[in-house]
Amino acid sequence: MSTCHCGSGRPFAECCQPILLDQRPAATAEELMRARYAAYVTDRIDFLGASLHPEQRGDYDEVATRRWARQSEWLGLEVVSSDAGGPADDSGSVEFVASYREKGVVHHHHEVSEFRKLDGRWYFTQGRLVPPKTQHRTTPKVGRNDPCPCGSGRKYKKCCGK
User: DSSP secondary structure string, 101-119?
Assistant: EETTEEEEEEEEEEEEEET
For residues 91 and 84, what is the distance between their CA atoms, to the nearest angstrom?
Answer: 7
pLDDT at 56: 92
For 148, residues 6+ apart whose C-beta sits below 8 A from its C-beta are: 142, 154, 155, 156, 158, 159, 160, 161
For residues 122 and 52, what is the distance between their CA atoms, to the nearest angstrom?
Answer: 9
pTM of the predicted model, to two decimals? 0.82
Interval 16-75: pLDDT, tens: 999 999 999 999 999 999 999 999 999 999 999 999 999 999 999 999 999 999 999 999
What dihedral do alpha carbons 79, 83, 88, 91 form, nearest 10°?
-100
DSSP helix/strand/coil, 62? helix
